[in-house]
Each structure stands twice: as structure tokens, then as C-alpha cells.
Amino acid sequence: MQGKKIVVGVTGGIAAYKSAELVRNLVKLGAQVQVVMTEGALAFIQPMTFQALSGRPVRSSLLDAEAEAGMGHIELAKWADLVLIAPATANFIARYSHGLADDLLTTLCLATSAQVVLVPAMNQAMWKHAATQRNIGLIAELGTALVWGPDEGAQACGDTGPGRMLEPEVITDKTVKLCSGQLTPKQSAEPVGTKLIGKHVVLTAGPTREALDPVRFISNHSSGKMGYALAEAAAAAGAKVTLISGPVHLACPAGVSRVGVSSAQQMYDAVMSAVQKQCDIFIATAAVADYRPESVADQKIKKNNDEMIVRLTRNPDIVAAVAALPEKPFTVGFAAETNDVLNYAKGKLARKNLDMIVANDVSDLSIGFNSDSNRVSVLWKDGQHDFGKRPKTQLAQDLIDFIADIDGRHLGAIGQSVLK
């Protein structure tokens, strides 16, 4: 970062206070930082703060008599190696996406050949609004700027949801990687998705554990990788995502709310609670145990006999229960089979009243359980589509796009036209 010239644009949001820490971090790493503030930003934080941290007077006027030939926007546009707007409010994003040049910051963004990065910060409802998502989509389509964030969590207004500005440490790290060439602009950009904006997606992932005694349980080989990849892809597409997960060794994806469970009954209770509150799409990727021990020993079972007989009883069928709700969400099941995969999947699709089922062959050790890749077939009442072998992260994006592109309420009628 030594000697890198960075314009930090600060717009009028409460997150402007975080920008002071960002400037401090960049200067500490050796960057030359010029802060440009909008009129709105001046209401949230004093220019003197940024001047003290950057060692440079703050610029805010488009017509600056002290700039070279009075053309401050051109001077700064040529000077910058990177233009980093943090926070980028909904208002600034709207003006920038439509090419307005009505203040110093928007004008220099149009005039510069340097990479522009937007770090959104706004109320969660403003972020989800169709107009904001259209503007973000337009920026992505034109390729005029990278978009980093937003994060999800508690907001100053009391709401909770997507719209928080990334923390200064995260922005700093991404800036260092971008400027040092560790990441290309495409790699450093956050996925910009709008297909599932306003939708609540509930997913299950991983195995369940059915206790025999305090130290032993019945389980399976599910790693949870497919479910976690789908949760990440759904969040990237703009959805509110609740991930109900059995025991796995995976980090929760950013922007996803995770509910940890162990047994099938716990997963059933968590799913029904989440779905009945509000759910648009339910995706059941978890490998749920069909049976559980009829009784669980209070103490560790000793090796007193040559054999042990365990009586099992059926667990609740989670995906079938969701599909049987009077106002069910669009319900997607997974069929992990070892033989006759498609026929078993078709049977489950009809028997459980699912809208869609994703079938994969877990007898193939190169895909499925514990693998980073998968190959699946998607089936619905009137059709089928095969996804060839690919990384689970890519498959997850493809499946989420596929689901989002289809109106689940009319899947049978329009599925074929969507695939063409």
C-alpha cells in the first residue's frame, strides 16, 4: 500500500463515523488518502477529523478556487489510484448509477479512470427496495464500480437486516488485496444479486444425530457442504436466509442466520417454527435420519453381551410436513440415493407433494457426501434438467438461479419455457 493514492468518498449516512477508522487504517499502511465529503456527510462528521487522520485538507466543493485551474474534480480524478466510497448511501448509489455529476464526488467518479468501489450503507428496507436493487444491478451490468457488502445485522434505526456498512477492518483488508494484486477486481467484488430480494429462504443442511446413550449416536456422512453453499448463494441473490443445520465443521456464510440443531426432532421443530412465521422457499438438503432409537440410555451402555438389539422408531418427515402445509412455500427436496436414482427421486416428488426435487448418486465417491463437487438432476412434475459435475459452490449458484427464475406456483406450466 506504500504510496498508493486513494480517494475516500464519504456520503451522508450514520456509518460515516466508521470511515474515520478506515482512513486511519489506510494511512497507517502507507497509503496517501484524500477524503472527499458530500454535503450530507458534513452533517454527520466534521472535516477536521478526516484532516487530522489523513494529513490533507478535506475536499467537498465542486468549484474549488484552490484546485488547479479551479477544476478539483479533474485534478483528483487523475491523481487517484482508487476511489473508495464508504459509506455509499442509497441516494449516492442512485445518482452514481445514472451518471449524475452534481457534486465533487459524483463528478470525479465520472472523470476518473481509476477503479471505483462502493461500500453500501443504509436501512435494510432501503437496501431491499426495488429501485436500489435496480441501481445496484445497473452498476454491475455496466461494470462501472465494484460493490463490497453490505453486511447484515442490527442497524442504528433499530431494524435488523442487510444494509450495514462492512467493518473498517474488512474494507481495509479487501483494499490491500485489490491494490496489491492478490485479488482481481472481479474476485474482490461481492456477488450482486437481486433475484430473491424480499424472499425468505429456509434451508436445512448437514446430518442429524440420534442418541443411543450420552456418548453414542446414529448418524451419516453428510458434510453439509451443499446446503451451506446453497445458503450462501441464496443470500448473494438477495434473500433473507435461515439455515437450520445439523452438526458440521463449516463456518456460517455471511448474511445467513444459522440455527444449530442435533436430532431430527430438533430440526423438525426449528423448521416448522421458521416456515410458519414466513417462508417463500424451503430447501431440504439435510440428510435427516429416518429412524431414531426408541429409548435412550441414561448412562453409557456397557459391553456386557455379544450382541445388542436396538429398537428404532420413525422420525418425522420434515420436507413432507412442510409440503403438506395449507399455504406451503415453494418446496425443494433432495434425494441422495445409491441406486435407481431417478426413479426413487420421482417417487419422492409425487409421494411428498414437492414442487421440485434434486437427485444425486451418493454411491459415486467423487460427488455427494464429503466431496467438494456434485452432479445432480432436477425433477419436477412435467420436466427434468441435468446439471453436470461441477464444484458445489458453482452448482449452488446454478440451482438458486434456476429456482429463482421459475415461478414456483406455476412450475409445471412454465418450466420447459424457462429451460429453453
Residue pointed to by grid coordinates 432409537 = 293
Q: Residues 151, 243, 202, 385: what is their CA dihedral angle, to the nearest 10 degrees?
A: 100
Could you tell me which residues come within 8 angstroms of residue 4 by beta carbon, excluding any fewer than 6 positions away? 30, 31, 32, 81, 82, 179
Count CB neighbours of 119 within 10 A.
29
Q: Which three cell numbers stand for residue 53?
A: 487522520
50 annotated as belonging to a binding site for a ligand: no
Could you tell me which residues come within 8 angstroms of residue 164 by beta carbon, excluding any fewer than 6 positions away? 15, 121, 149, 150, 151, 152, 153, 154, 155
The letter for the amino acid at 416 is Q
218 annotated as belonging to a binding site for a ligand: no
47 annotated as belonging to a binding site for a ligand: no
DSSP state of 252: P
Cα(92)–Cα(109) distance, rounded to whole angstroms?
11
Cα(180)–Cα(352) distance, rounded to whole angstroms?
53
Q: Tell how strand 356-361 and strand 373-380 pair up.
A: antiparallel
- Helix, strand, coil % over all residues of the chain, rounded to 5: 35, 25, 40
The letter for the amino acid at 7 is V
317 annotated as belonging to a binding site for a ligand: yes
Establish whether 157 is a catalytic residue. yes
225 annotated as belonging to a binding site for a ligand: no
Cα(89)–Cα(68) distance, rounded to whole angstroms?
29
300 annotated as belonging to a binding site for a ligand: yes
81 annotated as belonging to a binding site for a ligand: no
195 annotated as belonging to a binding site for a ligand: no
Point out the catalytic residue in the list 157, 179, 252, 279: 157
334 annotated as belonging to a binding site for a ligand: yes
Count CB neighbours of 263 within 10 A.
18
Q: Residues 14, 16, 21, 24: what is their CA dihedral angle, to the nearest 10 degrees?
A: -170
Give the residue numbers of the binding site.
290, 300, 316-319, 334, 348, 352
User: Active-site positions?
Assistant: 157
Give the residue numbers of the binding site for CTP.
290, 300, 316-319, 334, 348, 352
